[in-house]
Amino acid sequence: MPLQLGSSRVEDTFREAVSLIRSAKHLTAFTGAGISVESGIPPFRGPGGLWGKYDPRTLELDYFLTDPGRAWPVIKEIFYDNFGKAKPNAAHLALARLESEGWPREAVGGPSGAALDARGYLRTLITQNIDNLHYLAGSRNIVEFHGNSRLLICLACGQRVEASPSLLENLPPRCPCGGVYKPDFIFFGEEIPKSAHEKSQDAARLTDVMIVVGSTGEVYPAALVPHWAADAGAKIIEINPEASEFTSSVSDIHVPLKAAEAFGLIEKELHI
C-alpha cells in the first residue's frame, strides 16, 4: 500500500527505518516526554512546554527540601492532577506490542539481567518518563531512568507508598512516621538509581538498533543513552517532529513525525 507522508523524502526515511527495525537482532527504544504529548501530557521544553507555565526550580532537590510545602502544590497539579488522567496512546501501545510480538530471537542479556525476557522485536525500553504510561500500555521490560510518579518515598524512614488521591489531600503529604513524602522520581540534582543506570548501559551496549522517541537530548545523564548505543556500533532511528540534540550528533535516520503516527505506520509495515 502506498505511504502518504507528505514528501517522498519522509517516505524514504520511514522505509529505511522500518527496514532497520525488521533486521534488528537486539532492538531497544529510548523514550522521552514527546511520546506522551499525544496522551495530553505536555513536555518540559518546546512549544506548550511545562516550563512556560511553571518554575523549573520546583523540581530542584534543594528547593524541594528547603520548603516541601511550597513545592508540593505545583508538583501535585503537574504530576498527579494532570498526569493522573492520561491514558497510553498509539505509540505506547505499539511499543508494548513490539515487546510481545515478532519472531522469537535468541535471548541475550547483560550482567544486570537487562533484556533477558523479551519475546518480540523489542528487547528493552528505556524511558525518561515518569508517567507510568508504558507500564499501563503493557510494556514490562522497562528501565525507568528517572523513576516513576506512581510512588512516593518518605524522606525520614524511606518507606514507599502509592500516591493515592487521599494521601495528597493535605500537602505536603506525610508518612505515619511524621516524615514528608517526596515523589519517587528523580529531581534535578539527584543521582540516577544505580540499577537503572547499569541496565541502560547494558542494553545500550547490546543493542544493534535503538529507536529514540520524543526527546530533546538536553537532560543529562539520560541523553548519554543513545550515545552509548551509537558508540557501541548501533544504528539510531530518531522519531521526533522537530530536530533535537540527537539529530545532528547520533541519529542515523530522523523520522520527522509525531510518535503515534510513526508507530501506527511501523506496526502496519511489520504486520503486528
Residues 125 and 134: beta-carbon distance below 8 Å: yes
- Label the pairing between strands 160-162 and 209-213: unpaired
The grid coordinates of residue 221 equal 545523564
**Residue 208 CB coordination number (10 Å):** 16
- Residue 244 touches ligand NAD, criterion: CB under 6 A: yes
Return the number of the residue (32 or 88) whose C-beta is nearest ligand NAD.
Answer: 32
Q: Which of 259, 263, 266, 267 binds ligand NAD (CB under 6 A)?
A: 259
The grid coordinates of residue 139 equal 510494556
Q: Which of 99, 131, 144, 184 binds ligand NAD (CB under 6 A)?
A: 131
- Residue 255 touches ligand NAD, criterion: CB under 6 A: no
Return the number of the residue (175 or 257) whose C-beta is nearest ligand NAD.
Answer: 257
Cα within 13 Å of Cα(167), Cβ side: 21
- Residue 67 touches ligand NAD, criterion: CB under 6 A: no
The partner residues of 153 in beta bridges, in order of sequence, read 160, 182
Residue 123: phi and psi, rounded to 5, are -85, -50
92 included as an active-site residue: no
CA–CA separation, 28 and 34 (whole Å): 17
Which listed range, 19-27, 134-142, 192-200, 214-222, lies at the site for ligand NAD (CB under 6 A)? 214-222
CA–CA separation, 52 and 45 (whole Å): 8
- Residue 193 touches ligand NAD, criterion: CB under 6 A: no
Q: Which of 17, 21, 26, 32 binds ligand NAD (CB under 6 A)?
A: 32
> Least separation, in Å, of the C-beta of 115 and ligand NAD?
22
> Least separation, in Å, of the C-beta of 220 and ligand NAD?
10
- Residue 226 touches ligand NAD, criterion: CB under 6 A: no
> Least separation, in Å, of the C-beta of 242 and ligand NAD?
4
Catalytic residue selected from 92, 146, 197, 254 = 146
Helices (H) and strands (E) in the chain, counts: 8, 9
- Residue 129 touches ligand NAD, criterion: CB under 6 A: yes
CA–CA separation, 106 and 28 (whole Å): 15
Give residue for cell 513490539: 98
CA–CA separation, 35 and 12 (whole Å): 22
Q: Which of 5, 17, 45, 199 binds ligand NAD (CB under 6 A)?
A: 45
- Residue 58 touches ligand NAD, criterion: CB under 6 A: no
Q: Count Cβ atoms within 10 A of the Cβ of residue 194 and give its class: 0-12 exposed, 13-18 middle, 19 or more buried.
A: exposed
> Least separation, in Å, of the C-beta of 82 and ligand NAD?
10
Which listed range, 101-109, 112-120, 150-158, 236-244, lies at the site for ligand NAD (CB under 6 A)? 236-244
The grid coordinates of residue 45 equal 521544553
Q: Which of 216, 229, 235, 263 binds ligand NAD (CB under 6 A)?
A: 216
CA–CA separation, 239 and 61 (whole Å): 31
Summarize as ranges the residues that interact with ligand NAD (CB under 6 A).
Answer: 32-38, 41, 43-46, 49, 128-131, 146, 213-216, 218-219, 222, 239-242, 244, 258-259
